Amino acid sequence: MRRLPIRRVLALCVAALTLAGTATASEEQPTPAELESELICPVCETTLDTSSAEIALRMKARIRELIAAGSTKGEIKAEFVDQFGTGVLAVPPKEGLGLLAWLLPLAGLATAALAVGALAWHWSRGQAAEAGPPLDPELERRLDAELARFE
């Protein structure tokens, strides 16, 4: 097994730490635009960044207040979920009934792939079975003679 040079290992570690810092910074210090694209207006059912409904404007103002107060992204989302329910989230949670929204499309794709595979297998097997009855010996001889003329 080949060993990686120490410089490469250090570069990979620095890159990993840099990316991890960015992800935690987003959780600790979210931006209004980031949260507005992840929350849904309860009236018009579009994301807050595209909605101009009165409640959406109040929700945007509340997001700015909570960010100024030092709330994390999770805390802000939790407040809106407590107030409006999980329907306010643009992406369903990966737990409980929200997990169905993640799993059902995958199950549908798997079922469709299996159905297409089964149909293709059945179709390919059915083609060989439809050869038909054998030819009359006289007709087969005439066919061979005609084909020999073209060779």
Beta bridge partners of 40: 47
Mean per-residue pLDDT, 63-76: 93
Does the pLDDT at position 116 exceed 90?
A: yes
Give domain status of residue 63, yes or no.
yes
Q: State the chain's mean pLDDT as an integer.
A: 82
Give domain status of residue 129, yes or no.
no
Q: Binning pLDDT at 50, 70 and 90, where does residue 78 land?
A: very high
Give domain status of residue 142, yes or no.
no
- Assigned token pair, 35: 């949260």
Does the pLDDT at position 48 exceed 70?
A: yes
Mean per-residue pLDDT, 14-33: 65
CA distance 139 to 55: 84
Q: Binning pLDDT at 50, 70 and 90, where does residue 62 land?
A: very high
Give domain status of residue 76, yes or no.
yes
Give the residue, 50 or 130, on which the prediction is more confident.
50
Helix (H, G, I), strand (E, B) or coil at 62: helix
CATH code (residue 38) = 1.10.8.640
Q: Binning pLDDT at 50, 70 and 90, where does residue 22 land?
A: very low
Give domain status of residue 26, yes or no.
no
The answer to whether residues 77 and 39 touch, using CB atoms and an 8 Å cutoff, is yes
Give domain status of residue 39, yes or no.
yes
| Closest listed residue to residue 74, CA positions, set 110, 113, 38 | 38
Give domain status of residue 103, yes or no.
yes
Provide the residue range defining the domain that includes 71.
31-110
User: Total structural domains in the chain?
Assistant: 1
Give domain status of residue 12, yes or no.
no
Given this model, what pLDDT does residue 94 score? Answer: 72
